[in-house]
Amino acid sequence: MNEQATKLIKNMLTVLDNCVDIIPGDGDGVQDDIQALNLAITALEKQIPKKIYHKTWADIDGVPYDLCPNCENNLCTTGLLANRKGKYCSDCGQKLDWEESE
Ligand SMILES: [Zn+2]
């Protein structure tokens, strides 16, 4: 569903991009629309769950850290003060897919 919406918006973006050159004037309104659509794409793409990214730091006894696949924020799910595995990254709002790491 979100993949479809993202594809649709990307198509609209392509159309708008092509229009900029043929619209009389400075095309400021179209530029605003393009910016709004880009924001919409970013928001929609964050709704598509992405697999957690594991990173092992040599000095942490080989315990893999769970990182956000979008911004690489440490999700802090290991150690004494471990957070619960949330549905979204608290930093960038990326929807998270924990399936493989359970
Ligand atoms: Zn993130």
Give the separation between CA 9 and CA 29, rounded to whole angstroms. Answer: 17
Whether 94 and 65 map to the same domain: the answer is yes
3-state secondary structure 22-78: CCCCCCHHHHHHHHHHHHHHHHHHHHCCEECEEEECHHHCCCEEEECCCCCCECCCC
CA of 15 to the centre of ligand 1 (A): 30
Print the domain residue range for 62. 49-102
Q: What is the pLDDT of residues 26-47, one digit of tens each?
A: 767 888 888 888 888 888 888 8
Query: Number of structural domains, the chain?
Result: 2
Whether 100 and 53 map to the same domain: the answer is yes
Q: What is the pLDDT of residues 51-98, one digit of tens each?
A: 987 776 645 556 677 889 999 888 877 766 677 888 999 899 999 998
CA of 23 to the centre of ligand 1 (A): 38
Confidence of residue 12 (pLDDT cuts 50, 70, 90): confident
- The tokens describing 33, both together, are 């629309």
CA of 88 to the centre of ligand 1 (A): 8
Give the separation between CA 34 and CA 8, rounded to whole angstroms. Answer: 13
